[in-house]
């Protein structure tokens, strides 16, 4: 069933677990995610990045995710990841997205507040939830790159201001993760998560979560992270399975035979994440 991002994240916030927000670009990813959610009885968020919208288009993404959600009993939210453009956000809302992210984190605080406020106003009028970001998360997510030197951790006082002045539903914070493949082991600022959670008492979001060790993920969830974004780990599973298949059967030419095992491989990775995040068994009717 299709629900709002707020319904999913408020439940996670109240029950101290995190929900995986998995990036989707094609049908196999949507199917892998919904199958994993059903097998683990987990609420789930499927999200489209700027790159996904360019590759597949808003209409395709929305039709695929809505079909998956409507044919399933687990709660599913359809979310826009790193929205930056007002028109595109409106288009997503018109196409049935139940949650949008406005990423104005590159702006100074006042600009971030003004931009987020505007999106909250239109999204809430349509019954759609809003995630915003404060602090700068490093790394590359499709078209958006933040250099390591420009990445800055979230200031808790600024986070309070952004939340109080905009009425947003969930907040992405910068606490040491980065989008893409890590060069070394990421060091998370767990105390900062605790401070921010105590001050805000709302669902918190961790971006750049692929490659973060299980122990760190669990510590982050215990301290108040409720949405965990995963893209790269699913890409890796897809990539590895396709390469293996083609290496073993170089004459194969049926796309279903080549891509089918990749769908299964992605599902296994996603199931592991759902168990790790604590969302397995948390689906409600």
| 210 marked ligand binding residue | yes
For residue 209, state whether it binds ligand 13P (rule: CB under 6 A). Answer: yes
Q: Which is nearer to ligand 13P, 112 or 209 (CB)?
A: 209
Q: Which is nearer to ligand 13P, 128 or 137 (CB)?
A: 137
Q: How far is the CB of 225 from ligand 13P (least distance, A)?
A: 12
Q: Which of 28, 131, 169, 231 binds ligand 13P (CB under 6 A)?
A: 231
Q: What SS3 state is found at 44? A: strand
| 121 marked ligand binding residue | no
Q: What is the DSSP letter of 155?
A: P
| 211 marked ligand binding residue | no
> Could you give the C-alpha distances from 100 to 38, 178, 241, in angstroms and in order?
24, 20, 31
Gap between the Cα atoms of 207 and 209, Å rounded: 6
Per-residue string for binding with ligand 13P, 60-89, x by CB under 6 A? ---------------------xx-------
| 232 marked ligand binding residue | yes
Task: Give the rounded distance of the alpha carbon of 102 from its chain centre.
Answer: 13
For residue 40, state whether it binds ligand 13P (rule: CB under 6 A). Answer: no
Per-residue string for binding with ligand 13P, 160-199, x by CB under 6 A? -------------------xx-------------------
Size of the site for ligand 13P (CB under 6 A): 15
Alpha helices per DSSP H over the chain: 5-14, 27-40, 50-56, 58-70, 86-94, 109-125, 156-166, 190-200, 214-222, 232-248, 255-277
For residue 103, state whether it binds ligand 13P (rule: CB under 6 A). Answer: no
Site for ligand 13P in 131-160 (CB under 6 A): 141
Gap between the Cα atoms of 268 and 277, Å rounded: 14
Q: Which of 210, 216, 226, 279 binds ligand 13P (CB under 6 A)?
A: 210
> In sequence order, what are the residues at sequence separation of 6 or more whose Cβ sits closer than 8 angstroms to the Cβ of residue 236?
210
For residue 99, state whether it binds ligand 13P (rule: CB under 6 A). Answer: no
- Bridge partners (DSSP) listed for residue 225: 204
Q: Which is nearer to ligand 13P, 52 or 245 (CB)?
A: 52
Gap between the Cα atoms of 74 and 95, Å rounded: 21
Q: How far is the CB of 125 from ligand 13P (least distance, A)?
A: 25
User: Is 254 one of the catalytic residues?
Assistant: no
> In sequence order, what are the residues at sequence separation of 6 or more whose Cβ sits closer than 8 angstroms to the Cβ of residue 3?
43, 75, 76, 77, 98
Burial per residue of 73-94, b for 16 or more beta-carbon CB atoms within 10 angstroms, e otherwise = ebbbbbbbbbbbeeeebbbbbe
User: Which one of 10, 81, 169, 264 is the catalytic residue?
Assistant: 81
For residue 208, state whether it binds ligand 13P (rule: CB under 6 A). Answer: yes
Residues in contact with ligand 13P by CB under 6 A are 23, 81-82, 141, 179-180, 207-210, 229-233
Task: Please report, in range form, the residues annotated as the binding site for Zn(2+).
Answer: 82, 103, 133, 179, 207
Q: What residues are annotated to the active site?
A: 81
């Amino acid at each position: 069933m299709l629900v709002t991002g707020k319904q999913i994240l408020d439940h996670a916030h109240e029950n101290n677990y995190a929900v995986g927000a998995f990036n989707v670009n094609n049908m196999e990813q949507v199917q892998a995610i919904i199958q994993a959610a059903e097998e683990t009885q987990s609420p789930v968020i499927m999200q489209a990045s700027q790159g996904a919208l360019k590759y597949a288009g808003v209409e395709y993404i929305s039709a695929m995710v809505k079909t998956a959600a409507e044919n399933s009993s687990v709660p599913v939210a359809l979310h826009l990841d790193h929205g930056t453009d007002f028109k595109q956000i409106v288009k997503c809302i018109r196409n049935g997205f139940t949650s949008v992210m406005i990423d104005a984190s590159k702006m100074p605080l006042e600009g971030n507040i003004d931009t987020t406020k505007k999106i909250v106003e239109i999204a809430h009028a349509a019954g759609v939830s809003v995630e915003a970001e404060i602090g700068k998360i490093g790394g590359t997510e499709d078209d958006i790159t933040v250099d390591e030197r420009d990445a800055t951790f979230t200031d808790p006082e600024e986070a309070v201001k952004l939340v109080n002045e905009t009425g947003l539903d969930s907040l992405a914070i910068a606490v040491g993760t980065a989008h893409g493949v890590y060069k070394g082991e990421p060091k998370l600022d767990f105390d900062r998560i605790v401070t921010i959670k105590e001050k805000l008492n709302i669902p918190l979001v961790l971006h750049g979560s692929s490659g973060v060790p299980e122990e760190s993920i669990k510590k982050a969830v215990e301290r108040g992270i409720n949405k965990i974004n995963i893209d790269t780990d699913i890409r890796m599973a897809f990539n590895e399975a396709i390469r293996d298949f083609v290496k073993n059967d170089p004459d194969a030419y049926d796309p279903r035979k080549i891509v089918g095992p990749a769908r299964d491989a992605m599902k296994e990775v996603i199931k592991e994440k759902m168990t790790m995040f604590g969302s397995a068994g948390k689906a409600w009717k």
